[in-house]
A = this chain, B = another copy of it.
Amino acid sequence: MTKNSVEPNALSERAQHLLKVLIEHYIRDGQPVGSRLLAKESRLDLSPASVRNVMADLEELGLVTAPHTSAGRVPTVQGYRLFVDSLITVKPVEGPAVEDLAKTLKAGFDPNRVVKTASHWLSAMTQMAGVVMYPRRDRTSLRHVEFLRLSERRVLVILVTNDQEVQNRIIECKREYSASELEQAANYLTKSFVGHDLQEVRETIVEEMRRAKEDMDRIMRTALEMGERALADEPRGDDYALSGETNLMTFSELADMERLRNLFESFHQKNEILHLLDQCLNAARTNIFIGNESGYGPLDECSVVTTPYRVDDRVVGVLGVIGPTRMQYEKVIPIVDITAKLLGAALKPR
């Protein structure tokens, strides 16, 4: 999948084990790990010298690297890659907090709030940044339309969709509409299009308008005109919910102000991150970008663990965690997974 990756079977059993122990240790305390320590830790009853030989091999393969001549080794991106792909042993996520989340999510009405809760939980559990893409609603179907006259030419549109979401928009009209005109228009639209996809509704309306331009009664025309304007440009609001960015400040590898500032700035910009998340929408399983694998500068020292979440077996969004490359993958992965499962369940329309 990733170019330049190393096949696990190119490594001896022993090398794999040592790499695993090394990475686990490095993740724990962030210091380069040397041969003496590794020999003890590995429980393989090897001397430091033998370990050194193995390390030399691993270095040649590009799985570890030494910051300088006489320091221990640290994992490279490829090292982490191999680790998360084939060596990792994930720990199941512990009990009570999970049930709490399940309950809280179930109790929520507003999908936006539910998403935010999930994002907060991710950040709280991992002590890193949690991010949840809002469920996409391109197949959102209409449930109710309401028009309300605000002033001469300004009309408030209230759209209720089947996933219990409410959208308000204000549109500026070309001419003035009376209250009763608007009411009739709303009634017509609601009656005709309930249960239909928003996009589809708009297309139908546009089509209708073109076909029968002249011979329409006043009500029909009003309804179509208003409907067309109301559905015009779907203003996607925020695209994802991010929580716990500030957690990232505690990681020494991100301590450089400039770097951190870029990172935060890019969280605000959203586009790049969103693009990254979009990539993960298609992936069926949990996805991990390590270090520069994301191909996006500010995330160079970070890893991103994402997984899609489903409602009724249909993928509707992505959620995950952003943290330093040196993160506890074996804990984070199951946390992300369970969150996806619970969020999906909570969003199921009732």
Residue among A156, A170, A260, A350 with the most chain B CB within 10 A? A156
Known A249-B261, A261-B246: A158·B151 in contact at CB below 8 Å: no
1/0 contact string of A238-251 vs chain B (CB within 8 Å): 00000001100110
Cβ of A10 under 8 Å from chain B: no
Complex: A158 Cα to B160 Cα, angstroms: 10
Within the assembled complex, what's the spacing in Å between the Cα atoms of A257 and B261? 12
> Which A residues, 226 to 275, have Cβ-Cβ distances below 8 Å to chain B?
245-246, 249-250, 255, 257, 260-261, 264-265, 268
Q: State how many angstroms separate the Cβ of A350 from the closest Cβ of chain B.
A: 6
Helix, strand, loop or mixed for chain A's interface? mixed
Please tell me if the beta carbons of B170 and A110 are within 8 angstroms of each other in the complex.
Answer: yes
Query: Once the chains are docked, how many angstroms separate the CA of A110 from the CA of B250?
Result: 38
Is A166 engaged at the interface, CB distance under 8 Å to the other chain? Answer: yes
Q: Which residues of B contact A265 (CB under 8 A)?
A: 246
**In chain B, what residue has the closest Cβ to A255?**
B257
Q: How large is the interface on A (under 10, 10 to 19, 20 to 34, 35 or more residues)?
A: 20 to 34
User: Which of B109, B156, B268 is in CB contact (< 8 Å) with A160?
Assistant: B156
Check A148 for interface membership: any CB of B closer than 8 A: yes
Alpha-carbon distance between A255 and B249 when the two chains are bound, in angstroms: 12
Given known A249-B257, A261-B249, A261-B250, contact A160–B148 (CB-CB < 8 A)? yes
Q: How far is the CA of A245 from the CA of B146 in the complex (A)?
A: 38
Assess A158 versus B150: contact at CB under 8 Å? Given A249-B257, A261-B249, A265-B246.
Answer: no
User: Who on chain B is nearest to A349 by CB?
Assistant: B151
Task: Tell me how many chains of this kind the complex includes.
Answer: 2
A115 to chain B, nearest CB (A): 15
**Which residues in window 143-164 of A have CB below 8 A to B?**
144, 146, 148, 150-151, 154, 156, 158, 160, 164
Given A148-B144, A249-B260, A249-B261, A166:B168 Cβ within 8 A: yes
Which residue from B151, B164, B168, B246 sits with its C-beta under 8 Å from A156? B164
- Mask: chain A, 173-195; 1 = CB below 8 Å from B; 0 = not: 00000000000000000000000
- Residues of B near A246 (CB, < 8 A) are 261, 264-265, 268
Please give me the residue from chain B that is nearest to A172 by CB atom: B109
Task: Report A231 CB to chain B, min CB distance, Å.
Answer: 17
Closest B residue to A154 by beta carbon equals B109
Instruction: Give complex CA distance A194, B6 in Å.
Output: 71
Provide the bound-state CA to CA distance between A146 and B260, in Å.
46
Q: Can you list 25 residue pairs at the A/B interface with Cβ under 8 Å?
A: A109-B154, A109-B170, A110-B170, A144-B148, A146-B146, A146-B158, A148-B160, A150-B164, A151-B350, A156-B164, A156-B166, A158-B158, A158-B166, A166-B168, A245-B264, A246-B261, A246-B264, A246-B265, A246-B268, A249-B257, A249-B260, A249-B261, A249-B264, A250-B257, A250-B261
A interface residues, Cβ below 8 angstroms from B: 109-110, 144, 146, 148, 150-151, 154, 156, 158, 160, 164, 166, 168, 170, 245-246, 249-250, 255, 257, 260-261, 264-265, 268, 350
What 14 new A-B contacts, CB under 8 Å, besides A150-B164, A246-B268, A249-B260? A109-B154, A110-B170, A146-B158, A148-B160, A151-B350, A156-B160, A156-B164, A156-B166, A158-B166, A168-B168, A246-B261, A249-B257, A249-B264, A250-B257
